[in-house]
Amino acid sequence: MNKFILYVFALVFLIMSGCSGEENIKGKSNSNHLTIGFSQIGAESSWRTAETESIRSEAKKRNHTLKFSDAQQKQENQIKALNAFIAQNVDAIILAPVVETGWEPVLRNAKKRNIPVILVDRGVIVADDSLYTTLIATDFVNEGRLAGEWIIKNIGTQANIVELEGTPGSSAAIDRQKGFMQAISSYPKLKVTQSQTGEFTRAKGKEVMEAFLKSSKDKIDVVFAHNDDMALGAIQAIEEAGYKPGVDIKLVSVDGVLGAFQAMVAGKLNCTVECNPLLGDVAFDAVERAVSGKKVEKRIVIEDRVFDQSVAKDVIESRKY
């Protein structure tokens, strides 16, 4: 009988130990080593590649396990990845959402499992904002506004502008356009004559710019590109059409990647508004705080800066992406 009682006590001890071990693996009480799922939009630009590397290197630096998924620009791939992360019982999810809408079901699933979701560089629209922990991003509206203000100050208040938009439905494209139009709205002679998506890629930016040059009835004075890669594609199209980019047609873009600084030094790009992709340290600070049960600010804003040809040569050596 005594042996039976000892056996029962031993069994209970093992079960309790097993539960305690699962808690450590899950990481909810210990942020020293975590398993994080990261759903990235894709690798459509050098900016996106820099963001991915920043998050990967920060995970390695902090000795966390990172499960990475490249969505190849498709929301359905991201939703599949998030559901897989949830099934694997990760400690947290980092999500760079390709578009703003359509996230509620999968985010509710994550919330039910007590898995914090950290949004990076793009936001989502949901009825219940408790479905995600925080959004870490620059101010896209302000970036568009800064681009418009630079044009007003440095080019003037009369120009025909063509716009290379980012991915339709993405917060970056929606907000940068919104901010840009806010900036130029008081100047009726600053006109956006054509606007089309270049999908944030260099190849598509070149293709759309070629179409603009062929179809435009009016002289194109300025290109506003929602990212540098589309602007670099547009520069190729402008050169192939026999014009001098940066001179005959001015170009203003957003991101601040190294290629944009090289183009400014060469006189081919006039201005870039920085959108810093090096979010790894801030993202993992938020992850660790959330997993430990500490408060995380709902919106963490990364500062925007403006660079143009006048400073490009002086700062290019200091660029990290």
Please say if the pLDDT value at position 9 is more than 90. no
Q: Residues 137-151: what's their mean pLDDT?
A: 97
pTM: 0.84
Neighbours of 220 (CB within 10 A): 21
- The parent domain of residue 103 ranges over 33-138+277-302
Q: Note whether 186 and 144 are same-domain residues.
A: yes
Nearest to 46 by CA among 263, 214, 218: 263
- At 55-72, the pLDDT tens digits run 999 999 999 999 999 999
Q: Note whether 60 and 205 are same-domain residues.
A: no
| Residue-level pLDDT at 28 | 46
Nearest to 209 by CA among 237, 167, 177: 237
Whether 42 maps to a domain, the answer reads yes
Whether 285 maps to a domain, the answer reads yes
Counting beta carbons within 10 angstroms of the beta carbon of residue 316, is it exposed (0 to 12), middle (13 to 18) or buried (19 or more)?
middle
pLDDT grade, residue 32 (50/70/90)?
Answer: confident
| Residue-level pLDDT at 31 | 56
Specify the 3-state DSSP secondary structure of 84: helix
Whether 263 maps to a domain, the answer reads yes
Whether 206 maps to a domain, the answer reads yes
Q: Note whether 204 and 281 are same-domain residues.
A: no
Whether 7 maps to a domain, the answer reads no
CATH number assigned to the domain comprising residue 59:
3.40.50.2300
Tokens of 251: 């170009």
Q: Note whether 217 and 152 are same-domain residues.
A: yes
Mean pLDDT, the chain, as a whole number? 91
Whether 98 maps to a domain, the answer reads yes
- At 215-249, the pLDDT tens digits run 988 899 999 999 999 999 999 999 999 999 999 99
Number of domains in the chain: 2
